[in-house]
Structure 1
Amino acid sequence: MKNIITTIILGCFGYCAHAQIPQPDPDTTAKHFLTVASIGNLQEVSAAQIALKSSNNADVTSFAKMMVQDHSRSEQQLMQLASRKGYNLPPAATGNIQPDLQLMEAGNKIDPLYVHKMVSAHNNTVQTFENYATVGKDPDVRKFAQDMLPALRHHLMEIKEIEMKMSAK
């Protein structure tokens, strides 16, 4: 009888302990990806707006205009997808992006700094999107990543060309 009671008590403790362990969100990777992608979109638009105000380089201003247009459109699609999927993205991913102080204070060095930042950012962004497009768990979010990759690769190619032109001068 004592063994039965002990077994029941231990079984209850095991069940209670299991119930108190927080269970993971079934797909935190999709929400995380969307959060990172949204922050990236907002940073791209913010940096491009600074470049548009300060740059004297036609290639840089053309690229910056493309960044505002493409990343604004991407952000709208991303927010619609997040809403449809029921993902509540954190405030940092929904519009509370601080402007890049280095760019704001760059003065006549804005063009090489902006180009350098865009090469780095787009290398990271392409890698992030390729990763989710390949191994992402949520098929809708994976499709979003796959659909965005051609434009992101184009951005990377364009900014690398601008970087090469500027370094050749």
Structure 2
Amino acid sequence: MKRLSLMMMVVFAAFAFQACQNKAKDSTESADSANMTKDTSTNPSATGGIAVDENDAKFVTTAANDGMAEVAAGKLAQQKAVSKRVKAFADMMVTDHTKAGDELAAIAKTKNITLPAAPDADAQKKAEDMGKMSGKDFDKDYVNAMVDGHEKAVKLFTDASENCKDADLKAFATNTLPTLKMHLDSIKAIKASMK
């Protein structure tokens, strides 16, 4: 009887451990998974497969996720920022990243690429943390997040403008890159003025 009880406890513990390991996928992970399972081996329009290679699809989901995160953070900064320069930058983020997101969504639709429905868990956590801040602390955190985010975005779009195999995605990355570089220069200037 002891042996049966011990075995049941071991089995239960194994199931409990496994359940802890299976965290829910966020929207971006789900989109990436959906894109990876689409049949790309034959005619995409006939099979429902995606019309671009895996790396190009990954660029699209990453860019879409990051753009949504920029818009969400920008909307938060429109409400919470105290600096007029930070508020103006946030306005620009909402406008420019919404426009770029709409362009990317139109391209993704023609290529049958699944986009994330919302920013990933990391971006949502960052927005939640920023939402708890106020005043100059909020401004400083937002500015630092925008510098980091735009440095990553410039790198992502530079790589895509050089390496995307799909002509439409390559053109989108190439045409969007100057705006991202301008954003980075602007936010770095704001950060320097805050010291």
Same fold (TM over 0.5): yes
Distance verdict in 2 for CA 1:141–1:93, change over 3 Å: farther
The residue number in structure 1 matching 2:72 is 46
Q: What is the aligned counterpart of 1:64 among 90, 94, 100?
A: 90
Query: Are 2:130 and 1:107 equivalent residues in the alignment?
Result: no
The normalised TM-score by structure 1 is 0.79
- What SS does structure 2 have at the residue aligned with 1:98? helix
The Cα shift of 1:88 comes to: 2.0
Identity of paired residues, percent?
Answer: 31
The Cα shift of 1:24 comes to: 7.7
- What SS does structure 1 have at the residue aligned with 2:75? helix
Contact 2:69 / 2:119 at 8 angstroms: preserved in 1?
no
Q: What is the aligned counterpart of 1:131 among 130, 149, 159?
A: 159
The Cα shift of 1:116 comes to: 0.2
Query: Aligned residues, how many?
Result: 144
The Cα shift of 1:84 comes to: 1.2
Task: Summarize deviations over 1:7-32 as a string: whole Å, max 9, x none.
Answer: xxxxxxxxxxxxxxx99846011111
The residue number in structure 2 matching 1:32 is 58
Letter matched to residue 68 of structure 1: V
Larger Rg: 1
The answer for unaligned runs of 5 or more in structure 1 is 1-21
> Residues of 2 paired with 1:23 and 1:34: CA distance?
15
> Residues of 1 paired with 2:75 and 2:87: CA distance?
9
Q: Which has the higher contact order (CA 8 A, sep 6+)?
A: 1
Contact 1:48 / 1:64 at 8 angstroms: preserved in 2?
yes
The answer for unaligned runs of 5 or more in structure 2 is 1-36, 41-51
Distance verdict in 2 for CA 1:128–1:63, change over 3 Å: same
The residue number in structure 2 matching 1:152 is 180
Matches within 5 A, 1:77-88: 77-88=103-114
